[in-house]
Structure 1
């Protein structure tokens, strides 16, 4: 077997081993057997909601297990074909088997990404909240650049992008903004973007053209669908209304239609001004609050919850997840995974998939993520 194919075979075997480990193979096989038996019970549909939940879980496990088994069998079959072709001097058989192994390499890569997006709320739509850090206009401009980056990413991913809240800076940029991204696996992909983002550049607002460092924070939380129950009592919150304003401070309307809700126990604040109707903004803000509280619960279940919470405590040095350097050189580097890009303009135009995939892989597989350049 040629060295190139041996390397691909080794990579596939390692990837399959990681997929098995993430799935908790033996436990999942036993659970699928149990669910298959339960599906044969005629009384299952006496409780339609429970039946649907069971069948959904059964389908998930069956797809994952059969997929891994197919990868393993396909790899073994083609390794044997190569050995047979080499022994008999049949170059055509060897070439076909090698091409099949290359196809398996692509298949396992796609399956890994699917595995990374198997969390409880990963398939949901998502809110993306951006806040400028200390530094006035410079940080506010940086926050607006991040807002544009995520909106462009959403458009690239064929998602629907909605602006829910936009708080303009005094001179330029934004103090804060919240957008809603609607699309398959929107939260699953975007959740790794939560944290502080650092920009280094020659400031366009500095008459002496000095280099500035700016910070902005990003917070991502899933839209809560009807299958998820989050109870919030009105007595646990403070609701404020205010006049919505757009870019440059222009009033969107002359009534107090914008709504801000503060959850007193946690200090979580959400706000919405996208509609002229206070009633609609209030309903959206309530949904956002339920989503934030649900996201807090999800965080508690993650091993890195403490580190993630710390990343939001201070929008500044020591808490950033990614650095974007425009001068004196051009580099975007994710400080969690080590993944780099030397094309920051493409990144700022929404080209962040490489960073997202690496961060997801690190969450799922720990130290077994390969560090690559995303260019």
Structure 2
């Protein structure tokens, strides 16, 4: 149903309400209903607490109220997972994103749409760039102000915000301000924000090999050119899971996750300070779904979901490779980087025994040399890529 109540609903939706024994929904939706003769049940907060109540109503005619399209950042997918296909029927309306795009004239196919009711604002971080547009669902008016302050902190305070309340109903209200001037003190839920990015904040590249400065680190980081080549060797496919062993700063796992929203990753790091730093980097760069495990491989691998790809950036040893070769199923890809002569010799031996590709990376950077310039070589890196 829309925010204006049941009047004007399609016949099927109105018929469902008229036949309902129970109508369940948030208080604001229930308040819009006329007297239907059905029992009214408020959906509790948090949302998950309502699912046991809904299970207890099995076998009765129940209508659950939600705004717009329940399968577009809505409740539909959650409820559908809980019940058999024959037990439910969805009657969608226009989504908030569709209504917002219609108000602003923005094409949805090229506009980022995010639901951040319970997700961190940093999910926007990889998408912040001058001229980028996004439609963002947030929890309430306070969250709109949080978003404006966060954008200012990222260097995008000049961004234009359209604050859109109760779209599609009699309480609809659309206002415009910049993030650094937003001073509305009466923003009411439900609210959607249209964001047109502007400012001089740093932009994260769309390609692999983000600037090293993006990540907090103590020097233990796969440097940008090597990281780009390593991500290419890892070759993420949608839906895959990565084990990042010896996570360091988390740069490999974070860039892996940025490649596709369906990817998942676990970073394993023995040092507690570095593990905490990985968590902080992930949270700041919109990769909050990264799982961080503090511990030493292979012991720390015991309870992890099986991977599709494994990267070894630290802690390389004969024992680790032996354990992985026994633990992993055929088809899992392994990429390992070595810097020392001992670890290079280890990878050379394993490549001779198990195949795969060996790549030697030798990079040099131009540096001042007296009054002129010369090449300063970095330590060479040997990379082994193999499919188990």
TM-score range, shorter chain: under 0.3
Higher relative helix content = 1
Q: TM-score scaled to structure 2, two decimals?
A: 0.21
- Structure number with greater Rg is 2
Q: TM-score scaled to structure 1, two decimals?
A: 0.22
The structure whose RCO (Cα within 8 Å, separation 6+) is larger is: 1
